[in-house]
Amino acid sequence: MIDLEKIVASRRGFMGLAGAGGAALAFGAGSAEAAKVRTSARILILGAGAGGAAIANRLSERLEGAQITVLDGRPQHWYQPGFTLIAAGLRKADYSISSTTQWLPRGITYINEFAAEIDPEANRVVTTGGQRIDYDYMIVATGLVLDWEAIEGFDLSMVGPETGISAHYASPEMAEKSWHALDKFTDEGGIGLFGRPATEMKCAGAPLKITFLAEDIATRKGNRNKVELIYNSQADNLFGVPVVDHRVRQLFDDRDITYRWKHVLKAVDAGAKTATFATPDGDVTSDYDFINVIPPQRAPQVVRESGLSWADKWTDQGWIEVDQSTLRHLRYANIFGIGDINGVPKGKTAASVKWHQPVVEDHLVSEIAGRAGTKTFEGYTSCPLITRIGRAMLIEFDYKNHLVPSFPGVIAPLEELWISWLMKEVALKATYNAMLRGRA
* Interface positions with ligand FAD (CB under 6 A): 46-52, 71-72, 74, 80-81, 83-84, 114-115, 141-143, 168-169, 202-203, 206, 300, 302, 339-341, 348-351, 353, 382-384
Contacts of 249 (CB under 8 A, 6+ apart): 238, 259
Residue 261 to residues 167, 235, 271: CA-CA distances in angstroms? 21, 6, 26
Q: What's the closest the beta carbon of residue 201 comes to ligand FAD, in angstroms? A: 9
Residue 52 to residues 69, 104, 127, 363, 398: CA-CA distances in angstroms? 11, 9, 16, 16, 22
Residue with smaller CB distance to ligand FAD, 67 or 223: 67
Q: What does the CA dihedral 118, 120, 122, 125 come to, rounded to 10 degrees?
A: 30
Residue with smaller CB distance to ligand FAD, 83 or 290: 83
CA 185 from chain centre, in angstroms, equals 27
- Rounded CA-CA distance 398/349 in Å is 12
The beta strand positions in 131-215, using DSSP E, are: 132-134, 137-140, 145-146, 165-166, 190-195
Residue with smaller CB distance to ligand FAD, 126 or 284: 126
Q: What's the closest the beta carbon of residue 365 comes to ligand FAD, in angstroms? A: 20
Q: What's the closest the beta carbon of residue 82 comes to ligand FAD, in angstroms? A: 8
Residue with smaller CB distance to ligand FAD, 37 or 440: 440
Q: What's the closest the beta carbon of residue 307 comes to ligand FAD, in angstroms? A: 15
Chain residue whose CB lies nearest ligand FAD? 49
DSSP string, 301-320: HHHHTTT-B-SSSSTTT--B
Q: What's the closest the beta carbon of residue 101 comes to ligand FAD, in angstroms? A: 12
Residue with smaller CB distance to ligand FAD, 39 or 154: 154
CA angle 356, 360, 361 (to 5 degrees): 115
Are 180 and 86 within 8 A, CB to CB?
no
Q: What's the closest the beta carbon of residue 94 comes to ligand FAD, in angstroms? A: 16
Residue type, position 412, single letter? A
Q: What's the closest the beta carbon of residue 225 comes to ligand FAD, in angstroms? A: 28
Residue with smaller CB distance to ligand FAD, 185 or 319: 319
CA 89 from chain centre, in angstroms, equals 20
SS3 328: strand
Q: What's the closest the beta carbon of residue 59 comes to ligand FAD, in angstroms? A: 15
Q: What's the closest the beta carbon of residue 428 comes to ligand FAD, in angstroms? A: 7
- Rounded CA-CA distance 187/167 in Å is 19
Are 215 and 196 within 8 A, CB to CB?
no
Residue with smaller CB distance to ligand FAD, 166 or 382: 382
Residue with smaller CB distance to ligand FAD, 206 or 268: 206
- Rounded CA-CA distance 96/107 in Å is 26
CA 232 from chain centre, in angstroms, equals 20
Are 285 and 99 within 8 A, CB to CB?
no
Q: What's the closest the beta carbon of residue 344 comes to ligand FAD, in angstroms? A: 12
Residue with smaller CB distance to ligand FAD, 211 or 276: 211
C-beta neighbour count of 402 within 10 angstroms: 12
Q: Could you tell me which of 398, 327, 322 has the C-alpha nearest to residue 356?
A: 327
Residue with smaller CB distance to ligand FAD, 348 or 363: 348
Residue with smaller CB distance to ligand FAD, 37 or 294: 294
Q: What's the closest the beta carbon of residue 356 comes to ligand FAD, in angstroms? A: 9
